[in-house]
Chains A and B, each alone.
Chain A
Amino acid sequence: MTNVIEIEGLRKTYRRRRGTTVAVDGLDLEVPAGGVFGFLGPNGSGKTTTIRCLLGLARPTDGSLRLLGQSVPAGLGDAMRRTGAIVETPALFPTMTARENLRLLGSVDGIGMRRVDETLELVGLAERSDDLVKKYSLGMRQRLALAAAVLKEPDILVLDEPANGLDPVGMREVRDLLRGLAAEGRTVFVSSHILAEVEQTCDRVAILTGGRCITHGTVDEVMAAAGHQASMLVKVDDLAEGQRVLREAGLQAERAEDALRVALDPTAAGDVTRLLAAAGHWVTELRPDRISLEDVFLELTSEHQEEAHQPEKEVAA
């Protein structure tokens, strides 16, 4: 599988009055082509700085970046023709209409009006496309920024918090749009704080804290790496007896409040009910014991919080 983003040893520091702040600290990251890649991290973890370096908006202090096989910044001219991007707050001309904004941006790459109208339709702004952007709500501006990013039908979308300011309906539409783009074979690289959204949208994730990537992989891999196995919660009338039966069958079963936590993928629920029923214990409730990506995220990032605030992060000038 080819990588559309390759980051090696990325380091970015900013000079401050009292020393140097390390925003990204030796980041290594590879994003394979296709699918939706979630780029997660708490505030100040270096997500936006990484995206800025990737798009040539900031100069790395050290390390190398490649976007669509092109070296950054030398090959950005070619790479950006196939890349759509939103960086932080969407900024478009407030005194132009949405259509004019897109037409003007599109004309940089020779994109015609038909594609502009298609894109406005795609993001749900067709009816308001002739309104001035300064009259738009934050959510509408976000949609317009998204339209600007997808306008050139890019191979890769780099989106920094694309769901900012969107209402639940808008978030769902964006989620569907991103999934749709991924289904077309494009790669969507998205940074977000809204972890429930990420979990539903992304195929792979990377979690950053203190400017370093602490884990990456598919959502399941990240969950597993955090030490969370797939399990299910089972309720029977006699928990002690039920636990004994399951353990005798070689299953790992622990008491969890008023249920048993069985370390088994929920797809094997039939085996558990069969075992318990055979021993005369009727299952009254059985459900997957899911932990969310948010739980994993909080757990992993809190482990690294202390390290992130070590004195070495502030290098005296």
Chain B
Amino acid sequence: MRLLRIEMRRALHRRAVRVLIAIALFGCAIAGVVSFVGSSGKSVAELRFDDEGHPAIMTEWWIAEANEGFLIIAVFFLLMGGLIGGATVAGGEWRHGTVTTLLTWEPRRLRLHGARSASAAILAFVISFGLQILFLASFLPAVFAHGTTEGVDGSFWAGLVVAMTRSSALTAGAALLAVALATLARNTAFAVITVFAWMVVVENLVRGLRPSLSRWLWGENLGTVMTWGQLPDEDFTRGPMVALLTLLAYGGAVVAVATVSFQRRDIAAAS
């Protein structure tokens, strides 16, 4: 626990982590202003029947039955933030050589790597959850000034909290994956570029050339887990539980390889 607390404090001292949080807070403020300005002068009926919905109608934040809502907008950015933050936490240690210093205090590498991975995942979860609250709270002025809370009941809040928890867990997973990749390569950029190259280039190529393999792609599995429903895609027929297991298998394999690598490799000076 002591090591976990230390790793959390170290992670929060990373400039990149602080910048990411600042950008997210700025994004929340912008979202709040846009929703307020966009809803002004409109009646509740106009807002309700807007084709894309409007966050001034509180029930549009998350529609559990349809597995969609404004919350989804935040998820993409949170996953990116989790990825970059996690990569920075591990990559920065290698870049500055602080991993060497820490290993002279805690030479049991599995403990250290475990604490670092866990701290990145826990922080990603908590920060992600907090940012989602702020993101949705930024719509409150628009809700109270121009919109409505009609239809908001216990089941709405329950569905919303479950969706926020799910997206926070996915953000934690992204951070964990990034820590593993950055540990493998001893480099922040490697982790970020690898994930983006995989998601944007490789997966799009597979989608175009071998759509039957789409059930193995991260994108589809992520979308299924996030919405916890079936994707409207005839090539992707997996349910959320199988999609979750697929993602866990991918993540588990990368984390295992990174852990073994960290346990066995020589620790060089700052790279």
Contacts and interface: CB of A to CB of B under 8 A. Distances in A.
A-B complex is real = yes
Interface of A: 52, 55-59, 73, 76-77, 80, 83-85, 87-96, 104-105, 107-110, 145, 148-149, 152
Contacts of A105: 101-102, 105
B9 interface: yes
A89 B108 contact: no
A91 B104 contact: no
A107 B100 CA distance: 17
Given A77-B107, A109-B105, A57 B100 contact: yes
Contacts of A110: 2
Interface residues of B, number: 26
B2 A148 contact: no
Contacts of B9: 104
The 6 closest A-B pairs by CB, nearest first: A91-B97, A76-B107, A58-B266, A85-B104, A57-B267, A108-B105
A77 B106 CA distance: 7
Contacts of A77: 107-108
A80 B105 contact: yes
B10 A93 contact: yes
B104 A55 contact: yes
A65 to B, nearest CB: 13
Interface of B: 2-3, 5-6, 9-10, 13-15, 96-98, 100-108, 264, 266-267, 269-270
Contacts of A88: 97, 100, 269
B107 A104 contact: no
Nearest to A79: B107
A190 to B, nearest CB: 15
Given A57-B103, A59-B264, A89 B270 contact: yes
Contacts of B264: 59
11 contacts: A52-B267, A55-B107, A57-B267, A77-B108, A88-B100, A91-B100, A91-B270, A93-B10, A107-B5, A108-B2, A110-B2
B97 to A, nearest CB: 3
Given A84-B104, A89-B97, A91-B100, 5 more contacts: A76-B107, A80-B104, A80-B107, A88-B97, A108-B2
A94 B100 contact: no
A77 B100 CA distance: 15
Contacts of B10: 93, 104
A77 B103 CA distance: 10
B212 to A, nearest CB: 41
Contact of B266 (A59, A93, A149, A152): A59
Contacts, number: 76
Given A80-B107, A91-B96, A58 B101 contact: no
Nearest to A58: B266
A289 B163 CA distance: 83
A268 B50 CA distance: 106
A89 B101 CA distance: 10
B107 A95 contact: no
A167 B219 CA distance: 57
Contact of A93 (B98, B100, B270): B98
Contacts of B107: 55-56, 73, 76-77, 80
Given A104-B9, A107-B6, A108-B2, A87 B104 contact: yes
A93 B108 contact: no
Contacts of B104: 55, 80, 83-85, 87, 149
Contacts of A58: 266-267
Given A91-B100, A107-B2, A96 B13 contact: yes
A96 B11 CA distance: 12
B266 A57 contact: yes
A193 B107 CA distance: 27
A240 B160 CA distance: 105
Nearest to B9: A104
B13 A91 contact: no
A58 B268 CA distance: 8
Contacts of A89: 97, 269-270
Contact of A95 (B14, B103, B106, B270): B14
B100 A87 contact: yes
Nearest to A158: B104
Contacts of A108: 2-3, 6, 102, 105-106
A152 to B, nearest CB: 8
A104 B269 CA distance: 21
A263 to B, nearest CB: 46
Nearest to A81: B105
B103 A56 contact: yes
Contacts of A57: 100, 103, 266-267
Contacts of B106: 80, 108
A80 B6 CA distance: 18
B105 A52 contact: no
A223 to B, nearest CB: 33
